[in-house]
Amino acid sequence: MGVHSGGVICLPRLRFGPAGYPAEAKGKVEQVFSILTRSGLNALEYAAVHGLRAREDTAAEIGRLADQYDISMSLHAAYYISLASKSMETRERSKSRLKKALRFAPLMAVKRIVFHPGTRGGLPEEEAQVIVRDALNDVWEAAGAESGGAFLSPEIAGKIGAFGSEEEILRLCQELAFCIPTLDWAHLYARSQGKVNEKRSYLKVIDQFESELGKRFVDNMHFHVSGITYTERGESAHRPLGEHWGPDILPLVEIVREVGYSPTFISESPDPLKGALYVKFLFDELEKSEK
């Protein structure tokens, strides 16, 4: 299997940020980073969910500003990636999108390329697993050397029928040294039909990934958070954090503080900036209560 040529990227402090540009920035790149810094946030997940359309000069400007403002960058690749699709053309296009993301990563100071592997294409689970793994190897062999040390970061899927169960994502990361997981806690909550929602269930997931992936996971924890509604098929819609929708992320925050983990929290709530501030607020309040 491929080897992650850039080594382990360590982010020794907690990071909080939104998925996508804050609406208040009105698409102006420098305003994005100024708003994040003024808000006390220090991470951003660039939303390329409809395709990576940024020009190279714009990408380089993003990277320059991220370094200037000390904002940790990740990138969410296109939603329509499907590495095990029934269509070979779709598979190849999906791989091309990930290759482009890897090549743009150094320009944008991106250290994690988050993506959904897609459907299982009607295939048995084991066959889909092998096809997705081999596709990612192809991607890495073609573009990994140009990635500037970025990881590919397959994400837990919210739809039960999609490729992206906890076990499938863990196995990819076990077999591919250039992959680290994105743990989307709202998706896990929906996928588990509300069972991953309290301290013991959060710990069980974290312990499993730490046990199997060790330092590579602990030093590069990447969490997505939001409220969510779900049906018997899994994810239905993302909702605001801190309201009556699950999951309850306070137990997760308590675990992170108690153990001393340093994840990056990316808010995918309908108002991502507000959601990121809410997560940071929970940490700040716990810190105050312990003084």
Looking at residue 218, its pLDDT comes to 96
Model confidence at 20: pLDDT above 50: yes
Q: What percent of the chain has pLDDT over 70?
A: 96
In tens, the pLDDT along 140-167 reads 999 999 999 999 999 999 999 999 999 9
DSSP string of the chain, one letter each residue: ----TT-PPP--S-EEEEBS--GGGTT-HHHHHHHHHHTT--EEEEE-TT-----HHHHHHHHHHHHHHT-EEEEE--TT--TT-S-HHHHHHHHHHHHHHHHHHHHHTEEEEEE-----TT--HHHHHHHHHHHHHHHHHHHGGGSTTPEEEEB--SBTTSS--HHHHHHHHHH-TTB--EEEHHHHHHHTTT-S-SHHHHHHHHHHHHHHHTHHHHTT-EEEE-EEEEETTEEEEEE-TTSSSSP--HHHHHHHHHHT--PEEEE-SSSHHHHHHHHHHHHHHHHHHT-
Model confidence at 42: pLDDT above 60: yes
Model confidence at 7: pLDDT above 70: no
pLDDT band (50, 70, 90) for residue 10? very low
Model confidence at 44: pLDDT above 70: yes
- Distance separating the N- and C-terminal Cα atoms of the chain: 48
Looking at residue 289, its pLDDT comes to 81
Model confidence at 198: pLDDT above 70: yes
Closest by CA position to 14, among listed 226, 242, 244, 225:
225
* 43 residue type, one letter: A
Tally of CB atoms within 10 A around 5: 14
- Specify the higher pLDDT residue, 287 or 240: 240
Cβ pair 230, 272 in contact under 8 A: no
pLDDT band (50, 70, 90) for residue 2? very low
* 168 residue type, one letter: E
Strand partners, 19: 45
Model confidence at 8: pLDDT above 50: no
Looking at residue 17, its pLDDT comes to 98
What global pTM score does this model have? 0.93
Model confidence at 64: pLDDT above 50: yes
Looking at residue 288, its pLDDT comes to 83
Strand partners, 234: 159, 231
Looking at residue 250, its pLDDT comes to 97
When the pLDDT of each residue in the chain is averaged and rounded to a whole number, the result is 94
**CATH code for the part of the protein at 15-289:** 3.20.20.150
CA–CA separation, 154 vs 172, rounded Å?
A: 8
In tens, the pLDDT along 88-135 reads 999 999 999 999 999 999 999 999 999 999 999 999 999 999 999 999
pLDDT band (50, 70, 90) for residue 213? very high
In tens, the pLDDT along 237-256 reads 999 998 899 999 999 999 99
* 276 residue type, one letter: A
pLDDT band (50, 70, 90) for residue 291? low
Looking at residue 89, its pLDDT comes to 97
Closest by CA position to 188, among listed 160, 148, 214:
160
Q: Which of 2-11, 149-158, 273-282 has the lowest mean pLDDT?
A: 2-11
Looking at residue 13, its pLDDT comes to 85
Looking at residue 243, its pLDDT comes to 87
Looking at residue 3, its pLDDT comes to 39
Model confidence at 56: pLDDT above 70: yes
